[in-house]
Chains A and B, each alone.
Chain A
């Protein structure tokens, strides 16, 4: 069982990974985020019609990609350097169990390219390529 707070420096209300289901550092990670009614951003996005902002689906993929790194990210400087070909194919609602799948496409000079998909049940909600830079 991966100790999430020990690996990621993110904290409430911005820690967006609940569980790591599969992890092969440098290759592939599958993580999970259960969207609850208590998520603070749902209060205003939107009032009476809560749905997860698309940019937060990208952030979930970025946080899941943090587990591609073998070492803890505490004290490390890791930045999102680019988002490419992002597609939002369906909304994510409170109660949804989101499956965050990320796989490395390759790395060079401290930059890693990651292909990610957010799925719920058998639907793709979001696909994107992220470039993550470690300084």
Chain B
């Protein structure tokens, strides 16, 4: 697992208080919302705030969110593309 992907998973677990879940248990390709991790719109806002705080990357609108939240892999790619440093 790439270092960034691991950090993304750790951020998801911490920010959403998915207690007892390990990074390995989150499927890279599974959707974050709906059938995958089963997150809702409140979780989406928490993730948007967490991504900004931890990685300095803003998710400006719902269109960007739709792309970034497709899966952990998509989110990792999104952060890698948009991170400044």
Q: Does A131 contact B (CB under 8 A)?
A: yes
Interface residues of A in 70-104 (CB under 8 A from B): 81-82
A70 to chain B, nearest CB (A): 18
Which A positions have Cβ atoms within 8 angstroms of B? 81-82, 105-109, 111-113, 131, 133
Looking at chain A's contact residues, is the secondary structure mostly helix, strand, loop, or mixed? strand
- Which residues on the B side are within 8 Å of A131 (C-beta)? 42, 45
- What are 27 A-B contacts with C-beta separation under 8 Å? A81-B41, A81-B42, A82-B42, A105-B49, A106-B45, A106-B49, A106-B52, A107-B45, A108-B44, A108-B45, A108-B49, A108-B59, A108-B62, A108-B65, A109-B41, A109-B44, A109-B45, A109-B62, A109-B65, A111-B41, A111-B42, A111-B44, A111-B45, A113-B49, A131-B42, A131-B45, A133-B41
